[in-house]
């Protein structure tokens, strides 16, 4: 692990996002809250929050960070048949919270796959990434769209 003992605690926050694409049938069941396993959106949201709080157990060299805030939101995009997951994390600590936000997104997406796999084994999890972060020595960073 990196030694952060000499770094002063500062306010830090991060947002991450990712998505999962479903078949027509699976998306219809998901959006109608009719998947056999139950309320997939609630399960995924809680899975993300629970995992984000345990990031240091998932990622070997991460510090245990006392989070002040962790939230997972899921938006359904009917046109693209995707569930778009975003997570936000915040702490007053000596290291950032990007990993907590990323782990929360990954776990929520995996939970959505698990909830729908009986009807759609081909559901595809898309790119997961940091959308923005604030705090620490590097200050503010925001993802910009790639130019084509």
Instruction: State pLDDT tens for residues 60-81.
Output: 999 999 999 999 999 999 999 9
pLDDT (tens digit per residue) in 11-68:
999 999 999 999 999 999 999 999 999 999 999 999 999 999 999 999 999 999 999 9
Write the CATH number of the domain with boundaries 10-140. Answer: 3.30.70.640
Question: What ranges do the domains of the chain cover?
Answer: 10-140
Q: Which residues are catalytic?
A: 114
Residue 10 · residue 95 · CB < 8 Å: no
For 36, other C-beta atoms within 10 Å of its C-beta total: 10
User: Residues 6 or more apart from 8 whose CB is under 8 A from it?
Assistant: 94
For 63, 73, 112, 138, the CA distances from 125, given in Å and listed in that order, are 27, 16, 10, 30
For 44, other C-beta atoms within 10 Å of its C-beta total: 25
pTM: 0.93
């Amino acid at each position: 692990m990196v030694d952060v003992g000499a770094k002063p605690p500062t306010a830090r926050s991060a947002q991450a996002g990712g998505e999962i694409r479903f078949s027509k049938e699976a998306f219809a069941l998901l959006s109608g809250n009719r998947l056999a396993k139950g309320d997939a959106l609630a399960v995924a949201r809680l899975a993300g929050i629970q995992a984000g709080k345990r990031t240091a157990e998932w990622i070997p060299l991460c510090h245990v960070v006392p989070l002040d805030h962790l939230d997972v939101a899921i938006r359904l995009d009917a046109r693209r048949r995707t569930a778009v997951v975003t997570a936000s994390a915040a702490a007053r600590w000596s290291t950032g919270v990007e990993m907590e936000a990323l782990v929360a997104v990954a776990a929520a997406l995996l939970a959505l796959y698990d909830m729908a796999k009986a009807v759609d084994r081909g559901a595809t999890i898309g790119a997961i990434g940091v959308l923005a972060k604030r705090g620490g020595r590097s200050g503010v960073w925001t993802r910009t769209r790639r130019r084509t």
